[in-house]
Amino acid sequence: MQTLELLYQKEFKGIIAHPRKVSLDGDAITLCGPRGSGKSYLIYDFLSSQKFGSYLYIDFEDLRVGDISREDIEVFIDENSIKILVFDNFDFRFTPLKVEKTIITTYQEVKINGYESKKIYPLDFEEFLAFDGRFISEKISFNNFSTIGTYPFVATASKDSYEKSFQLLLYSWFPDALEFALMQTLSLKQGSTITLLGLFKEMSLDYKISKDKFYTLIKDLQAKKVIFLVERYEKKSHSKKIYMIDFAIRGILSFEKDFIKRLENIIFLELLKRGEEIYYTDRVDFVVPKKELGVISMAFTPEVLLKNRIYSLVPLLKQLGLKKLQIVTLELEFSYQIEDIEIEVLPFWSFALGN
pLDDT of the residue at 227: 97
Query: Percent of the chain scored above 70 by pLDDT?
Result: 98
- Flag whether pLDDT at 133 surpasses 70: no
Residue 153 CA to residue 137 CA, distance in Å, equals 22
Query: What is the side-by-side strand order in the sheet with 240-244?
Result: 193-194, 240-244, 227-230
Residue 59, C-beta contacts closer than 8 angstroms, at least 6 positions apart: 40, 65, 88, 89
The distance from CA 226 to its chain's CA centroid, rounded to whole angstroms, is: 7
Average of per-residue pLDDT across 243-266:
94
Cβ-contact 313, 106 below 8 angstroms: no
pTM: 0.91
Per-residue model confidence as pLDDT tens digits over 281-336? 999 999 999 999 999 999 988 999 999 999 999 999 999 999 999 999 998 999 99
Cβ-contact 335, 251 below 8 angstroms: no
Q: What are phi and psi of 184, to 5 degrees?
A: -60, -45
What's the CATH number for 2-119?
Answer: 3.40.50
Residue 154 CA to residue 38 CA, distance in Å, equals 11
